[in-house]
């Protein structure tokens, strides 16, 4: 899918987007929207941009950026995300090589090779979630992470203080058999995490956020 700019040559607003695309050297198609005839209010354009405004930019991933600020951020962050992917892959390779020839990749004692290796995974995960949320527009998928992020201090403290107690209570109330299976440790950790998440969700609904 090619990049497409929905433009109106007689309107002042799209001029900034045109200049930005020219400065960045971004190859794109242009579709003129006739504002005088009200084409922006038609069903065809409304399906592309529900805000019925110009400019709008459809990226090669299919996402639609609907104003100059979003177009600027999308182009800049898109390049940053590509750089993060490249650096992440390089860190994974360097960390792996160091783990073989210099020092093992050990998380518990944070060896240099582990720091570089894990940094590579962090950059790749950051790039993936940027693509998922900002480019693909799948914000609902990451809502559970938003709930945790808004009260990250709370869930960290509660896990350290209450994880054992929560596990005991779950075991007492019917989950002991599941915890005793081969997958018991995984089920137990996920169950405790679910309880903590619902506590964060309750706080989120109450607009109560722990800050320092």
How far apart, in whole angstroms, are the C-alpha atoms of residue 197 and residue 147? Answer: 8
Do residue 15 and residue 46 come from a single domain?
Answer: yes
How many structural domains comprise the chain?
3
Range of the domain at 95: 76-138
Phi, psi (deg, nearest 5) at residue 21? -65, -35
How confident is the model over 45-62, as pLDDT tens digits?
Answer: 988 888 889 999 988 777
Look at residue 23 and tell me whether its pLDDT is greater than 90: no
136 with 61: CB under 8 angstroms? yes
Task: For residues 92 and 129, state if they share a domain.
Answer: yes
Task: Report the C-alpha dihedral over residues 205, 208, 209, 212, rounded to 10 degrees.
Answer: 180
8 with 22, same domain: the answer is yes
Contact 28, 3 (CB under 8 A): yes
In the three-class reduction of DSSP (H, G, I as helix; E, B as strand; rest coil), residue 166 is classed as helix
Is residue 55 assigned to a domain? yes
Burial of residue 2 (CB within 10 Å: 0-12, 13-18, 19+) is exposed
The last residue of a domain, from among 48, 66, 84: 66
Structure tokens at 189: 């950790």
Residue-wise pLDDT tens digits, 82-140: 788 999 999 999 999 999 998 998 988 889 999 999 999 999 998 888 877 776 767 78
* 148 and 201 part of one domain: yes
């Amino acid at each position: 899918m090619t990049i497409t700019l929905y433009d109106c040559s007689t309107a002042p607003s799209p001029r900034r987007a045109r200049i930005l695309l020219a400065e960045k050297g971004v190859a794109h198609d242009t579709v003129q929207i006739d504002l005088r005839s009200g084409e922006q209010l038609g069903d065809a354009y409304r399906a592309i941009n529900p805000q019925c405004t110009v400019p709008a930019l459809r990226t090669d991933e299919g996402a639609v950026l609907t104003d100059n600020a979003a177009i600027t951020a999308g182009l800049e962050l898109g390049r940053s995300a590509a750089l993060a992917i490249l650096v992440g892959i390089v860190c994974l390779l360097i960390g792996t090589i160091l783990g073989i020839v210099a020092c093992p990749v050990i998380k518990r004692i944070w060896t240099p090779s582990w720091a570089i290796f894990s940094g590579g995974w962090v950059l790749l995960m950051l790039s993936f979630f940027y693509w998922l949320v900002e480019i693909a527009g799948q914000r609902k998928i990451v809502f559970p992470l938003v709930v945790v992020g808004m009260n990250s201090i709370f869930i960290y403290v509660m896990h350290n203080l209450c994880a054992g107690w929560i596990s005991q209570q779950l075991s007492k109330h019917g989950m002991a058999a599941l915890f005793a299976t081969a997958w018991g440790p995984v089920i137990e950790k996920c169950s405790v995490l679910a309880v903590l998440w619902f506590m964060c969700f309750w706080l989120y609904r109450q607009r109560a956020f722990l800050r320092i």
